[in-house]
Amino acid sequence: MDCIFCEIIKGNIPSTKVYEDDFVTAFNDLNPQMPVHVLIVPKKHIASCNDITEDDALIVGKVFLAAKEIAKKLGLDNGYRIINNCGKDAGQTVGHLHFHLLGGKTMGEKII
Ligand code: 5GP
Ligand code: ZN
């Protein structure tokens, strides 16, 4: 299986990791859209939000616990945004479930 994020998780493709635990890896996005732009990725290959099963509920919970830790570590004391793109209309380009953690400047009320 050809999956960029699985290769990053295994360390076969370099990345700047900012967090890792048994369930989750997080690294800086290659093409940052904000001063802080981290991708939080479950270690298990799950293709998208549509492919999450009941058995994955713990993993998804761990993603959000990781987000909280990363935000604290990176000093996002004024807040941050978490985005998941699911499927073509949302612009999902990598077929391994991931959550964008964005922060470091005021984003306002609008969605992006
Ligand atoms: P998506 O559009 O699927 O929600 O987000 C995929 C993200 O992965 C994009 O923001 C893109 O910049 C990032 N990305 C793609 N390939 C790589 C890579 O090889 N390394 C890193 N660090 N980020 C990547
Ligand atoms: Zn994968």
Mutational test site, ligand 1, from 2, 13, 94, max ligand atoms within 8 Å of CB: 94
**Cβ atoms of residues 71 and 103 within 8 Å:** yes
**Cβ atoms of residues 23 and 7 within 8 Å:** no
Mutational test site, ligand 1, from 8, 39, 51, 112, max ligand atoms within 8 Å of CB: 39
Amino acid at 104: G
**Cβ atoms of residues 50 and 87 within 8 Å:** yes
**Ligand 1, residues at Cβ distance < 6 Å:** 4, 13, 15, 27-31, 39, 85, 91-94
- Is the pLDDT at 97 greater than 70? The verdict is yes
Can you give the pLDDT at residue 110?
76
Determine the Cα angle at 86 with ends 39 and 2, to 5°.
65
Average pLDDT on 11-40 reads: 98
Q: Give dist(CA 98, CA 96) in Å, integer.
A: 6
Residue 87 has a CB neighbour count (10 Å cut-off) of 12
Q: Give dist(CA 23, CA 88) in Å, integer.
A: 26
Confidence of residue 72 (pLDDT cuts 50, 70, 90): very high
32-64 per-position pLDDT tens digit: 999 999 999 999 999 999 999 999 999 999 999
Ligand 2 centre to CA of 2 (Å) is 8
Q: Could you give the domains of the chain?
A: 4-103 (3.30.428.10)
